[in-house]
Structure 1
């Protein structure tokens, strides 16, 4: 009986790993896809945060899961836990747009400065006090 359960467990784990491999492509392929995909929506970071603050349900239906291009002012840039993250100012001092960048964007975002105006494209995942964008890439920068 234990041997049968072990085999079932092993097969289940293999099946789960196969599903994860198929559902979550590696970041190099994702980057190439993001680079080739046009944005569904273009919006400012202030407008994005404001729309979630006013009506989160409506904003989720408009933005969640979509590729969006966000223009905003750099609030901060971090390189913690092998994650490269750019924070853009939202419509108030407590909220922002958190942009989780692709690892190959590290050299580009190292040159960003607080207060700089930029455009980032990524997939909107929703709102938890901040708007969250994943698989992001820098579109352009403007010195201010």
Structure 2
């Protein structure tokens, strides 16, 4: 009976220690969300990207989904709903745009942006659902035009 209790105690202690190491130790923390310094696969204008998806969604999905893309476009809207910072870029179409979910480490940069400002955003393309969706986006230097 005592050995059984010791065995369970060691098991629980081991689980607690592993959880502490996993959640609090920076060695286990991934920097996969930070794409600022990663190379881009494509550099496109927001309108060209949306046109690709609206003209041939299947081909565009094969080309762009899962890739790191730098998009240049004009800000249509900036939202801060549910602790998510999102920028919507205009395209040539009234109906479609590019939704960029901004990485939380970009808070200082996003608060400097204004509607109708031309910017570059780098993110991972996730596909097309009425708009082209980008996740983990980093804001590159704003273009002053």
The alignment partner of 1:81 has SS state of: helix
CA deviation string 1:113-141 (max 9, x = no partner): 11111000000000000000001000110
Higher gyration radius (CA): 2
Aligned length: 119
Please, which runs of 5 or more residues in structure 2 have no aligned partner? 1-21, 23-27
Structure 1 unaligned blocks of 5 or more: 1-20
Secondary structure of 2:92's partner?
coil
Corresponding residue for residue 31 of structure 2: 29
CA distance in 2, matches of 1:124, 1:72: 15
Q: CA RMSD in A?
A: 1.7
In structure 2, what is the Cα distance between the partners aligned to 1:143 and 1:74?
13
After superposition, what is the alpha-carbon deviation per residue over 1:16-41, rounded to whole angstroms, capped at 9, x for unaligned?
A: xxxxx9xxx96x72344x12211000
TM-score normalised to the size of structure 2?
0.77
- Which structure has the highest strand share of the two? 1
Q: 2:52 matched to which residue of 1?
A: 51
Partner of 2:94: 93
Detail structure 1 runs of 4+ shifted over 4 Å in the superposition. Answer: none
1:100 is displaced (CA, Å) by: 0.3
